[in-house]
């Protein structure tokens, strides 16, 4: 079973500012690379590692300091309470799709494989699949998904093509989907366009942005003073939410200020300038090319 190399590994662990006796959460265990690096910094401390994909937890090392939990990080507070923790010292989340997901044809995450199931569930026990979205969502709902989550300019036309095609055949695999929208795909930008479509469907299927919002809100409540949350995002929708929350403690609107004009937010931005991979890391691991790392600290 293959997983991607840990992205921005050194920067993530430094940003987390691991204390040897602290309690930390890896909200996206994946291949376990970041978790292992956190464990290397711990002495008497503890690490709780989550992943909504049960396959990922097969990689968990045998370590008395490590507790693994199958589940989505949107339920972090409940998981911590179950294991006896009310406050913690740090949270790490890598929001990227792992190589395991992209390379496992049957999971349907990549448009590079033809005639594979439109699945895209991170948690295979979940009900909603990408096939359900494209076959059962209304034209207006499809338009919303592609416009909001794929930032596709002709989302309305794209939705119309899908609705027209599914009147004649069920769109259950990637090949049928691409055939149904071939008139929408721009020449010389096919891969970029298809990547946006698959991103939009994946976000909808896994409620990714709502889950991220929940994680950020909970981080502000669960972290001890000076505790940190480190997030690696891979597209502007995720990164924008992280940036806004670290800056204002909100996702929309303007944050309240004190009598001196200072923003009253539960976290402060540690790095005002986003951290990105070096040229060398991108050359070694192409999937790191769009990664953006931000660090927030509990006030």
The string of pLDDT tens digits covering residues 110-169 is 666 677 899 999 888 889 999 999 999 999 999 999 999 999 999 999 999 999 999 999
How many structural domains is the chain composed of? 2
Better-scored residue on pLDDT, 1 or 72: 72
pLDDT mean over 277-287: 92
Within a domain: 251? yes
- Kindly state whether residues 196 and 272 are assigned to the same domain: no
**Same domain membership, residue 289 and residue 153:** no
- CATH code of the domain in which 272 resides: 3.40.50.150
Residue 118, in any domain of the structure: yes
153: its two tokens: 């300019």
Output the pLDDT for position 110: 64
Q: How confident is the model at residue 109 (pLDDT cuts 50, 70, 90)?
A: low
Q: Is 169 left (phi over 0), alpha (psi -120 to 50) or beta?
A: beta
Instruction: Answer whether residue 3 is part of any domain.
Output: no
**Which residue has better confidence, 21 or 102?**
21
Burial class (CB in 10 A: 0-12, 13-18, 19+), 137: middle
> Of 173, 206, 239, which one is at a domain's C-terminal end?
206
For 208-235, how does the pLDDT look when each residue is reduced to its tens digit (9 = 90+)? 999 999 999 999 999 999 999 999 999 9
CATH label of the domain that carries residue 142: 1.10.150.170
Please check whether residue 4 lies inside any domain of the structure.
no
Alpha carbon distance, N-terminus to C-terminus of the chain: 40
Same domain (yes/no): 26, 161: no
* Residue 187 burial (CB count, 10 A): 6
Domain boundary among 148, 182, 206: 206
Verify that 143 and 183 share a domain, yes or no.
Answer: yes
Q: Considering the chain, what is the average pLDDT of its residues?
A: 91
Domain of 242, in residue numbers: 9-99+208-298
């Amino acid at each position: 079973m293959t997983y991607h190399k840990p992205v921005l590994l050194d920067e993530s662990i430094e940003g987390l500012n691991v204390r040897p006796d602290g309690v930390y959460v890896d909200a996206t265990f994946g291949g376990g690379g970041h978790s292992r690096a956190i464990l290397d910094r711990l002495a008497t401390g503890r690490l709780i590692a989550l992943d909504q994909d049960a396959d990922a937890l097969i990689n968990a090392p045998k370590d008395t300091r490590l507790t693994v939990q199958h589940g989505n990080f949107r339920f972090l507070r409940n998981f911590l309470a179950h294991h006896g923790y009310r406050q913690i010292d740090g949270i790490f989340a890598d929001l990227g799709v792992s190589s395991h997901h992209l390379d496992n044809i049957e999971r349907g995450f990549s448009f590079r494989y033809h005639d594979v199931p439109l699945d895209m569930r991170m948690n295979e026990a979940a009900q909603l699949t990408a096939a359900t979205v494209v076959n059962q969502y209304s034209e207006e709902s499809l338009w919303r998904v592609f416009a909001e989550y794929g930032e596709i300019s002709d989302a309305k036309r794209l939705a119309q093509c899908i609705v027209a095609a599914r009147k004649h055949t069920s769109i259950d695999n990637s090949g049928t989907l691409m055939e149904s929208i071939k008139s929408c795909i721009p020449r010389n930008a096919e891969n970029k366009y298809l990547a946006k479509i698959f991103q939009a469907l994946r976000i909808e299927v896994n409620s990714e942005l709502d889950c991220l919002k929940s994680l950020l809100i909970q981080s502000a409540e669960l972290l001890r003073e000076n505790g940190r949350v480190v997030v690696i995002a891979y597209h502007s929708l995720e990164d924008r939410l992280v940036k806004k929350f670290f800056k204002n403690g909100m996702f929309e609107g303007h944050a309240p200020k004190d009598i001196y004009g200072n923003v009253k937010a539960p976290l402060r931005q540690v790095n005002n300038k986003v951290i990105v991979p070096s040229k060398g890391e991108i050359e070694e691991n192409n999937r790191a090319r769009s990664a953006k790392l931000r660090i927030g600290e509990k006030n």
